[in-house]
Amino acid sequence: MPVLGFNITKVEMEKKAIGVPGGQIEVRLSPKIKEMRLGEIRTPTGKMNGIEVLFRYEIDYNPKVAQGVIEGIILYVPPQKDKMDEILNLWEDEKKMDPVTFAEIVNFITKEVSPMIMLLAKEMRLPYHIPLPRVEVKS
């Protein structure tokens, strides 16, 4: 797996309304990459270089009943080690990532952060960001 480390540095959720209004409530998730830099992790076999990716995951409700943010860092190691410099140079020059790397990183972050968002929504009595399966009785 190309992600070797994952660390949450900030979790914030604020309820803006006392009650949740009825009707359609839209939950928008916005993953953003704040910074990328060279990083390393110590393993039993020695040090391993990778790319530290600082992210910000914003949660917005419409109508404005709540909003939140989760920030953290992952250590990403590309499948081809020689692409590390290419990825970092593209970020330094243009603050961009190639679509395959971006998708891989955002999918990992979403997988790790989604259970936390579910728990926060449950504790704060907010709608979940993904629909839960429901059983319906048919006559």
Q: What is the per-residue pLDDT across 36-94, written as a single tens digit (0 to 9) for each?
A: 999 888 878 888 888 999 999 999 998 888 999 999 999 998 888 788 889 999 999 99
Predicted confidence at residue 125, as pLDDT, reads: 87
Structure tokens at 105: 């990183």
What's the whole-model pTM score? 0.84
Predicted confidence at residue 3, as pLDDT, reads: 84
SS3 label, residue 90: helix
Burial of 119 (0-12, 13-18, 19+ CB in 10 A): exposed
Residue in 98, 97, 30, 42 with CA at minimum distance from that of residue 67? 30
- Sequence-ordered list of residues with C-beta below 8 angstroms from that of 31, at least 6 positions apart, any chain: 55, 56, 57, 58, 106, 109, 110
The answer as to whether 23 is a domain residue is: yes
Predicted confidence at residue 139, as pLDDT, reads: 83
pLDDT at 10 over 90: yes
Q: How far is CA 126 from the centre of its chain?
A: 19
Higher pLDDT, 85 or 20: 85
| Average pLDDT of every residue of the chain | 89
Predicted confidence at residue 74, as pLDDT, reads: 94
Residue in 6, 5, 2 with CA at minimum distance from that of residue 71? 6
Number of domains in the chain: 1
SS3 label, residue 94: helix
Residues of the domain holding 25: 3-123
The answer as to whether 128 is a domain residue is: no
pLDDT at 115 over 60: yes
- Mean pLDDT is lowest, of 60-64, 103-107, 126-130, 134-138, for 126-130
Q: Fill in the DSSP letter of residue 92.
A: H
Asked if 48 and 13 touch (Cβ cutoff 8 Å), the reply is no
Q: Report the share of the chain in percent with pLDDT over 90.
A: 53
The answer as to whether 130 is a domain residue is: no
The answer as to whether 138 is a domain residue is: no
The answer as to whether 32 is a domain residue is: yes
Q: Which helix (H) or strand (E) holds 28?
A: strand 26-43
